[in-house]
Amino acid sequence: MRPEQWESFKKAAKRQLGAGTPVALIVDSPWIPGYVGGSHLEYYLNPELGFQANLGILREFPEIIFFPSWWVEYGMAIEPSAFGSRIHFQPDQPPTQSPSLPRLEDVGALAEVDPYSDGLMPFALQLYRMQMPRILDAGYTIPVVAARGPLCLASFLRGVPEFMLDTAENPEGVHALLRLTTRTVIDWLKAQAEVIGKTVEGILVLDDIAGFLSARSYREFAHPYLKQICDAFPADWVKVYHNDANVRPFLADLPGTGFDVLNWSHKVDLREAREKTGGRMCLMGNVPPLEIGVRGTPEMVAASAREVLAKSEGKGLILSVGGGVSPGMPRENLRALADL
């Protein structure tokens, strides 16, 4: 994004008077390679192709804030790779990973992660070092660093079904694992911020797994760790939480984490989300990403966006889709958002 776009996003995120309603979309490698007509392996392994893909998209849609901006990521592989998880790369889709912690009892044997040496983390940091001067020279900035959240990372290491059973059968072991993954998330965010430099003023944490929990389980296994992450960074930074699973059971609790912005599922109505969060968070959404964003027509996208804007009454909203941009969202549908 351009520096002035960041200022617009920041004002909306902090719910400042007269902030307006910017249009912002979370974009990453599930969508970008297909959109520009390349393979995922080319996008990950060819820095020039990746740079030009991002630059081309930014220039094609100057009205849209692409968030978090020039995001170096390899699908969801970076964080689990630092723990030794086997990563499976495919030519036409983001990589997947195999669980690497078959016994929760062995969590104490896992060493803390060093972002500067472990897994794919140093490769991502080096790519930021290489590309940052070109990004600034082109008139853009990287104001936000991103990481998968502590429950998301824990579920990568254990497997989602296993992790969910763990919360019932071995809560002490789950807390030990979450203490480790939370430390990893914080250290990874700080390493990115250090490498990128003084342009960084915000964090993006993506953790859908919290949306699989009841309200009581959320308060035990998610809330304190999400709050710990927010507390690890300056109070004036913009803090964005992405969760497009079922956030309804704990919407009222989320403002207490310290996040400024919630990017949430379109399955929870904007008015309900605002009521339950008490207006203490800026809401980022809420056009349906698949039914409308990918499968709908431009007219349907525009109509859905206007409905969201009407419900927002012009305050506390960053217009987006209810989640990240899904693979296959076409140019015409992005243009419908840009032209509102």
Work out the burial of residue 335: count CB atoms within 10 Å of its CB; fewer than 13 is exposed, 13-18 middle, 19 or more buried: middle
Residue 129's pLDDT is 97
- Written as one string, the DSSP assignment of 57-97 is HHHH-TTSEEESSS----TT-HHHHTTTPPEEEETTEEEEE
pTM over 0.85: yes
Residue 266's pLDDT is 94
From the list 257, 201, 336, 262, the residue with the least C-alpha distance to 26 is 262
Residue 132's pLDDT is 96
DSSP secondary structure letter of residue 314: T
Give phi and psi for 93, each to the nearest 5.
Answer: -160, 160
- Domains identified in the chain and CATH numbers: 3-338 (3.20.20.210)
Distance between CA 15 and CA 79 in Å, rounded? Answer: 31
The dihedral through the CA atoms of 186, 192, 195, 200 has a sign that is: negative
Distance between CA 227 and CA 204 in Å, rounded? Answer: 13
Helix, coil or strand: residue 146 = strand
Residue 314's pLDDT is 81
Residue 213's pLDDT is 97
Cβ-contact 337, 301 below 8 angstroms: yes
Cβ-contact 264, 286 below 8 angstroms: yes
pLDDT < 50 regions, the chain = none
The dihedral through the CA atoms of 70, 117, 187, 176 has a sign that is: positive
Cβ-contact 228, 149 below 8 angstroms: no
Residue 12's pLDDT is 97
